[in-house]
Chain A
Amino acid sequence: MALRETAEQIFPELAQKQRTFLLAGAAGLVLSAVGYTMNPEQFFSSYLLAYMLVLGLTLGALGFVMIHQLSGGAWGVVARQSLGAASRVMPVVTLLFIPIAIGMPHLYEWTHADVVNADPILRGKAAYLNTSFFLVRAAIYFIVWNGLVFLLNKWSKEQDETGNLELPLRMQRVSAGGLLLHVLCVSFAAFDWVMSRDPHWFSTIYGALVLVGQGLVAMAFQIIVLAWLARRKPMSEALTPVYLGDLAGLMFAMVVLWAYMSFSQYLIIWSGNLPEEIMWYLHREQPGWIPLAIVLVVFHFAAPFFLLLMRGIKRNPSLVTKVAMLVIVARVIDLFWLIAPETHHEGFVLSWMDLVLPAAMFALWVGLYFQQLRQRPLLPLNDPQFEEALGPAFAHADHGTAH
């Protein structure tokens, strides 16, 4: 039966696609290595942007895996295997952090002793913002993320194979504590890796904003892939318009949350107008950056918001795929808005590396994701919620060994 076949068997062309994406990614990375020799500062800024994109695709998926373990819901039964595959790219994403560790002096002003010594505020932060503690913290984040990815995927595979009823409970327990750790790690990683690009600036909502951004980009990507996988059985049976609409509803919720948090942050900082906070926005008021902010308001909020209000779009695979693509592009622009102005205080600059690096890293990530996706069935076997969610669609199918 189709249910037990791996994605490889159902979609043999995935191997070819994987190779294409990996090659494109590798080529792009090699090309941008040239950029490193030309302008290391720009290279690392673009690299951080690309890195935050693939980190979001991976960690957002991990977050949804855990949320689904805790909340249940048919959407999660449908998306589980694909979300798991996305989370399993984590080990490579960990390795991709190495260039950031190497590029710290180019990325973070506070790594320079002379700058810190001349600045009483930075001296005060030195206990936190220093190279060794930064790396220790990064190591902790990666241990937590990789640990969660490892455990949840291992048990999920066991569940596919054995249908042991202990496993769902175990996954639920780990997800409860795991989600807590995950939120803390993502928040502090956001403070460390992105917010400290401007070491004077701080915003308490920043971690939550990055967290929501990760959830959004991960969900948008999942919608695109699942809609594509629904060309053949079993996904064509599983991804009913209602469930697709549920996933799109989650994407909609993330769009709204992002807008709510971004607007709140802006309103509060604008009205307070304190020198240490407003500088962040003043840098983004330099020539050329304001149009980018308007692009964000329109394409990161207004357009997806109004489009996803319509049930007809949410439940239509080809239309919702287009909205999801728009959202991914908007996510890249938002990351650009967070990261690039710190390199270009004088005004808007778009380097070719800001295009090539995110594209290359994204291609590389998608290749690795396909590699993971191929290895397992597309729908979970022996999931205790399977009957409930997909029972009618697979009424006569023999799914899993426990039945």
Chain B
Amino acid sequence: MAQSNQPLADRMEPVAGSGTPIVIAPGHTFASVTDKISSIVLTQRTPVGYYIALLTAAGLAGLLLMSLSYLVVKGIGIWGNNIPVGWAFDITNFVWWIGIGHAGTLISAILLLLKQTWRTSINRFAEAMTLFAVACAGIFPLFHTGRPWLAYWLFPIPNTMSVWPQFRSPLIWDVFAVSTYATVSALFWYVGLVPDVATLRDRAQGKVAQRIYGMMSLGWRGSARHWHRYETAYLLLAGLSTPLVVSVHSVVSFDFSVSILPGWHTTIFPPYFVAGAIYSGFAMVLTLAIPMRVVYGLEDFITMRHLQNMAKVMLLTGLIVAYGYGVEAFMAWYGGNYYEGFMMLNRINGPYWPQYWALIFCNVIFPQLLWFKKIRMNVPMLFVISIVVNVGMWLERFVIIVLSLHRDFLPSSWGMFRPTFWDWSTYVGTIGLFLTLFFLFVRLLPAISIFEMRTIVPEAKVQEGHGH
């Protein structure tokens, strides 16, 4: 019963003889899975390259710290934002990072509910990615306020002057959407980690590691009762996370679409932002997974099957995004609104035309290569495409935000945005922060869920059969 329940797409590539890719390489047992994954943290010698990578990333994170400190001292005038372009790199980066997080939530929540077992080896680090991406995203609106020490004003806190946030503004919805997202993602990730951290506790040699993993595992002993409650909690959290996959980026899209600015005000925005978020998120998962599986020899766990499936999700969401661009362009003409029409021409042919066409190339044209199975099976090519899509999705947000602001209704108030050193350093700095956190995570916690991987080795199947 349990088996026939699972979606067939999972184990089936319809035509026989084409070398069906699988979810886990053959020959693995409970013990080998546990050994392989926990050894990355506990026993394997850390390669020198790791330290170099970590130091580079940490250096960039230092740059972020410096940029933010300088910003607090001097004010946001150090960025290139100025009227008419009041939102620029900061909000672009915010939307980009938040979007990246969505793949993690989709993989861990929706694919779990859809019983897609192939998610098992990628969910853990995708969830970590979500968390780190949300952390990077949160920095931008916070510091964009200019007075981050007053950030609590964003919350509706009862006060003697009866000053409330504007509840009709999507910016306040954002505060709720993003903080809920961060909370639920963190909970989901941590709950998922508990049994594996207990495994590390039991296998760790050093006293310090034992203590730390011991505390983190919250007294997990793996009793039947623990597992029973655990499964319930995990499913409930998955249910809670599912609407967040859609709601967070829909609210982000409302930041733009409830205004009347051409290029922002359009009804397709919510679903198209969500598709774009998943698109960029899967691109980032591939960007991280491809080097990781090579460096740590995880090809048995993150198989071609995973890479292919992620490539297909990217192709699908990429096409939805392309549909959004197409419909938007068509309606800009069809709607007959002069300013909408101008906005579209300004994208195609205005001063920022290179950015616009680069976006079309990165997001619409180049990823069409994914239609070919040869390309989907070609790991270096997938890596290149994933990077290109990351760039394209960043450009998309830049085009939406800056191009609509820099030339709106009154030609006398037109202007140009030019990023300063500090714009770039803050952006690159968050990439450094993201990678630092990710490298630390890979070294200190099991990057692949051990106990869930154990459920998909052949040994588990036999036991399951007896159980029913």
Contact = CB atoms under 8 A, between A and B. Distances in A.
Interface of A: 71-74, 77, 121-122, 124-125, 128, 165-166, 168-169, 172, 176, 180, 183-184, 187, 191, 200, 202-208, 242, 260-261, 264-265, 267-269, 271-274, 276, 384-385, 388-389, 391-392
Contact of B267 (A77, A122, A265, A385): A265
Nearest to B253: A264
Contact of B7 (A72, A165, A168, A271): A72
Interface in B11-34: 11-12, 14-16
Nearest to A208: B271
A207 B327 CA distance: 9
Interface stretch (B132-140, B332-340, B459-467): B332-340
Interface stretch (B211-219, B254-262, B288-296, B345-353): B254-262
A152 B266 CA distance: 36
Nearest to B250: A264
A264 B11 CA distance: 37
Q: Which applies to chain A's interface (DSSP): helix, strand, loop or mixed?
A: helix
Contacts of A274: 260, 265, 337
B450 to A, nearest CB: 28
Interface string B232-266: 00000000000000100010001001111000011
A388 B271 contact: no
B400 to A, nearest CB: 14
A298 B335 CA distance: 32
Category for how many chain B residues contact A: 35 or more
A310 to B, nearest CB: 14
B159 interface: no
Contacts of A264: 250, 267, 269-271
Given A71-B7, A187-B323, A271-B168, 16 more contacts: A72-B14, A125-B336, A165-B15, A166-B15, A183-B323, A202-B331, A206-B267, A260-B250, A264-B267, A267-B254, A268-B254, A268-B257, A268-B267, A272-B258, A384-B14, A388-B12
A206 B246 CA distance: 19
A388 B266 contact: no
Interface of B: 1, 4-5, 7-12, 14-16, 168, 246, 250, 254, 257-260, 265-271, 319, 323-324, 327-328, 331, 334-337, 371
Nearest to B170: A271
B4 A74 contact: yes
Given A72-B7, A261-B271, A276 B335 contact: yes
Contacts of A128: 334
A282 to B, nearest CB: 16
Nearest to B371: A176
Contacts of A172: 14
A389 B12 CA distance: 11
A260 B9 contact: no
A206 B265 CA distance: 14
B4 A187 contact: no
A384 B12 contact: yes
B268 A74 contact: no
B335 A392 contact: no
A358 to B, nearest CB: 27
A72 B336 contact: no
B14 A204 contact: no
Contacts of A268: 254, 257-258, 265-267, 269
Contacts of B254: 267-268
B9 A73 contact: yes
A388 B335 contact: no
Contacts of A187: 323, 327
4 smallest A-B Cβ distances: which pairs? A72-B9, A204-B268, A205-B267, A271-B258
A276 B340 CA distance: 12
